[in-house]
Amino acid sequence: MRIIIHVDLDSFYASCEELRHPELMGKPVVVCMFSARGNDSGAVATANYKAREMGIKSGMPISFARKRASIETAFLKADIQHYRSISQRIMLILESKADKFQQVSVDEAYLDVSSLSGMEKAVDLAKEIKEEILSSEKLTCSIGIGPNKLVSKMATSFRKPDGLTPVGNPKEFLFPMPVKKLHGIGPKTAEMLNEAGVTTIGDLASFDAGKLSGIVGKNRAVLLHQKANGIDDSPVEEKDIKQISRLTTLTDNSSDASFIMESLQTLAEDIHHKLEKRRLLCRTISVMIIDSSIQMHTKSMTTEATDSLDAIRTYASRLLAGLLSEKNVVARRAGIRVSNFEARKDQKSLSDPLFRR
Ligand code: DCP
Ligand code: MG
């Protein structure tokens, strides 16, 4: 049985803007993608929850949103690069918690955490993730947990913002919902199904296969039947990685190499395990320091290909000492990154599970 966690940040672009413009806190905020034509031509990228209460939402023309907005509503131009850099730091946190990790958009990712064996442990991990994102980036997210990607994503949408929804029994969770809530069913299909008497996902799950094929075509009918029954075998797909990074927040701000290195020990272990699991050797090792103004400082070295824990620790320690002596920085967060990978050339032996297969 798999356990999949789905994470989605709350009103992401708008929350990023609230953070750097504290005067916006508590006010409706609309982040816009203005088109080149100027004026109010363009679409709403997102709105914070306050602005959503007035019916403003993603994709809506900015001119529509202006008509619905109260006088105190702030309309801001989207700054994608800014959101992306925040997203990258959060994705690093998420990736470090998963057996397998797949980012699916700027603010959304799946984590396969099946090795945790048990929903309770997955819920604990989800709480830890929420706390870590809140303490390091001051952002909230919503999390869904289920046996597959479909159910975990629907669980995330179930309670937002700042939600945490574990689903142990997908049928019990899905069946009472209106059929239009099932991912992959657009308004048109929902309408046709409603006309055929299918109003809930439960109705769809037990709807006659022949009749369903008549409405949506044979291939889609099979897929929709599976989805309605909470079945989804699609894997969490890790992309080919270019680097592995781990970052941690220090218990105290510091410029003391041995104090910072203590925190880096577990990160080095994490990276070593990840390299082993992926059968990779790295040639470049970097140490990162983030100071209290979120400025990142790094120092790197390239060496013979390795996955050894000792080597990673030794190089990290050397790089850290070098970085601190070159720059007068006080670290708030610190991390290690390895890159420049090559595949491990294993001796095939009979005890090697890949060889046995
Ligand atoms: N986005 C966009 N245009 C859209 C939808 C989204 O530019 N039509 C951008 C802005 C969002 C970000 O992508 O902040 C993430 O999309 P989500 O669908 O997750 O929306 P939010 O994070 O804004 O809100 P929610 O709290 O519902 O997740
Ligand atoms: Mg979101």
| 197 Cβ below 6 A of ligand 1 | no
What is the spatial distance between Cα 180 and Cα 186, in angstroms, rounded to a whole number?
A: 7
What is the spatial distance between Cα 113 and Cα 117, in angstroms, rounded to a whole number?
A: 8
| 13 Cβ below 6 A of ligand 1 | yes
Does the annotation mark 128 as catalytic?
no
Residue nearest to atom 1 of ligand 1 (CA): 45
Residue among 8, 9, 10, 12 to mutate when testing ligand 1 (max atoms within 8 A of CB): 12
State the chain's mean pLDDT as an integer.
94
Residue among 33, 57, 58 to mutate when testing ligand 1 (max atoms within 8 A of CB): 58
What is the spatial distance between Cα 62 and Cα 244, in angstroms, rounded to a whole number?
A: 40
Task: Write out the E strands in the chain.
Answer: 4-9, 29-34, 42-47, 74-77, 100-105, 108-112, 141-146, 164-166, 243-254, 280-291, 296-306, 331-343
Give the model confidence (pLDDT) of 96-118 as tens digits. Answer: 899 899 999 999 999 999 999 89
User: What is the reported pLDDT for 294?
Assistant: 84
pLDDT beyond 90 at 39: no
pLDDT beyond 60 at 91: yes
Give the model confidence (pLDDT) of 24-34 as tens digits. Answer: 999 999 999 99
Tokens of 13: 């672009």
Give the distance (Å) from ligand 2 centre to CA of residue 111. Answer: 16
Residue nearest to atom 2 of ligand 1 (CA): 45
Identify which ligand lies nearest to the alpha carbon of 10.
Answer: 1
How does DSSP assign 169-198, residue by residue? -HHHHHTTSBGGGSTT--HHHHHHHHHTT-
The percent of residues above 90 in pLDDT, for the chain, comes to 89
The pTM for the full model equals 0.82
Identify which ligand lies nearest to the alpha carbon of 76.
Answer: 1
| 107 Cβ below 6 A of ligand 1 | yes
| 12 Cβ below 6 A of ligand 1 | yes
Which has more pLDDT, 35 or 162? 162
| 11 Cβ below 6 A of ligand 1 | yes
The percent of residues above 70 in pLDDT, for the chain, comes to 97
Closest CA to 158 of 313, 322, 6, 357: 6
